[in-house]
Amino acid sequence: MNYAKLQLLINRFKFMWLAVFLLWMKTYLVYKLGFKISSDNLLQEFLLFINPLSSAVLILGCSLFFKDRLKNILVIILSLLATSILYANLVYYRFFSDFLTWPVLFQTSQAKELNGSVFELISFIDILILLDIVILVVYYFKNRIPNLSYIKFEKSFIFGLSVIFFVTNLLIAQIERPQLLTRAFDREMLVKYIGTFNYHIYDAYIQSMANTQRVFASGSDINEIKHYTMSKYVGPEESLLGLAKDKNVILISLESLQSFVINKKVNGEEITPFLNRLIDESYYFDNFYHQTSQGKTSDSEFLINNSLYGKDGGAVFFMNSGNEFNALPEILSNEGYYTSVMHANNKSFWNRDIMYPSLGYNEFFDIASYDVNEDNSIGWGLKDAEFFLQSIDHLKSQPEPYYTKFITITNHFPFELSEEDRFIDELETNSGTLNRYVTTVRYMDYAVETFFNQLKEEGLYKDSIFILYGDHYGISELHNKAMAIFLEKEEITPFDHVQLQRVPLYVHIPGHQNNQVLQTVGGQIDLKPTIMHLLGIKDTKDIQFGTDLFSPERDSFVVLRDGSFITDSHVYTSDKCYRKSSGIEIPTRFCEPYIEKAKLELQYSDKVINGDLLRFDINSKD
């Protein structure tokens, strides 16, 4: 194309180029002010600045496929569409500190449950994101934009220009961050280097590839993975093997509970007085991490029951509910346990009504099993104390021994609470979310204590083993300034952020004397083999990535779904290595022995899930 044609194309479509410029600048501002994406050097900042350009040209260039006045109207419509995608990511990011994936977008059955939470995430100032649309509309009506006839080279030029911009962007990004496109689990890095819109295109490709893995999978695919998981198997602590044999197993999933509130006070009042006392009566794990991603509570359920990692985008509960699993409820059913879940929510939420039978549960006590009204509910539903009270009769109706999981709900964003249930003052920080969080945590602590007392009164306490755990984080990194104030730190570093992913884990066995606080580094993926050994089931050599938390032979190591990992001595996150004892950044070589292992575990687990490989593992059912 010669210079004259280029000048002609620019002059002919000033309106479209104005829209490209405005979308480009808006996206960059959202990166900085909304997502708060930082850069370590000028090259990263340059990539962050230019990466919206290729997609802006491509999206708005689609208007050239239309003629006359419709061409210019399409510029406005496409700008509005791009803005909608950008804003949806912004709202999602405000709570989850993550970007939307295609599987999440198709989880439409969740939408009606999320209304209250979404409104909490919307700010009046958000209307400024429509400023460029207003400018385009005013420009369109104030200026007589001519109806231009079609010129042959226009569409090919625009498409070619967007490709040139993108390839240039990608080449520079690969120089700055080699093997960038192998890190599909690190969505913030992808957005940082290739942009929001390009990331969504890449995510669609990744999801389509994952969906085809099942079609082409074969029995031979599982052998290498089985060899890996067998190599990391560790035997039980012999003194604890079968300690809880034939006892009822009660799991309590503590909604959004993070370890930073344990043994902390607000105005001299303990946030978790009962859970603080329970530490002395339990095995308490001080370095236990949640490993969830976009599946949140459903991810924690999947991790605990299968000792497999959840998906990095979307939720296994939605995308792979038809898979073959060798889950803990099914294993325990075969051992004579009655398995159930009690959760006062709609049975279809997180696709539980489909997924639970796949995991082997005998019964699901959903919202239809409870009396829920305006007086005993708030926020997401039935208050925790009332939930536990009404669950007593359900427990008594079950044959023993049973394996029953309770899922609490009151301590859920946006952390609403009735005045009569507020047993502690709110915090005084710049985050209303964190301020309210401590009050709902305090209420949940009260509800759990009440439940324990009720079980004792009903004679259900002595013959049970209790496992209490936080399911995922409640306070995202968008509240880091407030968190730094609460924790009396100057700032929350990437190291601190990883440490904030710790959640409490209690193994409480009534009458047991040798309780202690254990420092071994572990995660939700380790609970399946731990529970099996406590119940006397020694053969835990199926395909699982966790190890018994009590075993003296275990490797003190945990991988988070974003690729971060923690050992006794180091923390690795965002391509940086930190000394765990001090939080000081050190050369990456100190973390290198575990970097490939962490990556390999996530890849192997993804292969098992995406390929539905357990259908080929005949031994897993033996």
Where are the domains positioned within the chain? 3-213, 234-554
Q: Give me the residue label for tokens 């938390």.
A: 549
Q: How confident is the model at residue 102 (pLDDT cuts 50, 70, 90)?
A: confident
Q: Which two tokens stand for residue 154?
A: 């226009």
Q: How far apart are CA 380 and CA 171, in angstroms?
A: 46
- pLDDT over 60 (residue 180): yes
pLDDT digits (tens, 9 = 90+) for 366-375: 999 999 998 9
Is the preceding omega at residue 510 within 30 degrees of 0, hence cis? no
Mean pLDDT computed over 86-90: 91
Q: How far is CA 539 from CA 187, 382, 583, 622, in A?
A: 38, 39, 38, 11
- pLDDT over 70 (residue 148): no
Mean pLDDT computed over 386-393: 97
- pLDDT over 90 (residue 581): yes
- pLDDT over 90 (residue 161): no
Mean pLDDT computed over 502-529: 96
- pLDDT over 50 (residue 11): yes
Those residues whose C-beta lies under 8 Å from the C-beta of residue 530, and which sit 6 or more positions away, are 507, 546, 548, 549, 550
410 is catalytic: no
Q: How far is CA 144 from CA 20, 70, 137, 147, 356, in A?
A: 19, 14, 12, 9, 61
Predicted local distance difference test score (pLDDT) of residue 399: 97
Task: Provide the mean pLDDT of the chain.
Answer: 89
C-alpha neighbours within 13 Å on the C-beta side of residue 58: 15
Determine the angle formed by the axes of helices 187-194 and 42-61, rounding to 10 degrees: 80
- Short-list 331, 367, 361, CA closest to 347: 367
Mean pLDDT computed over 74-102: 87
Judge contact between 408 and 384, C-beta under 8 A: yes
Lowest-pLDDT choice from 212-216, 384-388, 434-438? 212-216
Q: How far apart are CA 101 and CA 89, in angstroms?
A: 9
Q: How far is CA 280 from CA 229, 420, 507, 517, in A?
A: 34, 30, 11, 8
Q: How far apart are CA 391 and CA 314, in angstroms?
A: 31
The active-site residue out of 101, 292, 297, 540 is 297
Name residue 567's beta-bridge partners: 557
Predicted local distance difference test score (pLDDT) of residue 545: 96
Judge contact between 317 and 302, C-beta under 8 A: yes
Predicted local distance difference test score (pLDDT) of residue 146: 59
Name residue 364's beta-bridge partners: 341
Q: Which two tokens stand for residue 30?
A: 């959202």
Q: Which two tokens stand for residue 405?
A: 């999981």
Q: Where do the DSSP E strands lie in 33-98?
A: none
Q: How far apart are CA 472 and CA 258, in angstroms?
A: 7
Element (H, E) at 606: helix 592-610
Q: How far apart are CA 555 and CA 27, in angstroms?
A: 44
Q: Which two tokens stand for residue 358?
A: 């796949």
Is 366 in a helix, a strand, or coil?
A: coil
Element (H, E) at 482: helix 480-486
Q: How confident is the model at residue 151 (pLDDT cuts 50, 70, 90)?
A: low
Q: Give me the residue label for tokens 């190599």.
A: 231
Q: Which CATH architecture has domain 234-554?
A: 3-Layer(aba) Sandwich (3.40)
Predicted local distance difference test score (pLDDT) of residue 622: 47
Q: What is the pTM of this model?
A: 0.80
Q: How far is CA 621 from CA 62, 128, 292, 322, in A?
A: 53, 57, 27, 17
Mean pLDDT computed over 99-103: 78
Q: Which residue has the higher pLDDT, 622 or 269?
A: 269
- pLDDT over 60 (residue 1): no
Predicted local distance difference test score (pLDDT) of residue 351: 84
Name residue 22's beta-bridge partners: none
Which range has the top average pLDDT, 342-351, 500-509, 611-620?
500-509
Q: How confident is the model at residue 92 (pLDDT cuts 50, 70, 90)?
A: confident
- Short-list 462, 341, 464, CA closest to 400: 464
Q: How far apart are CA 141 and CA 606, in angstroms?
A: 52
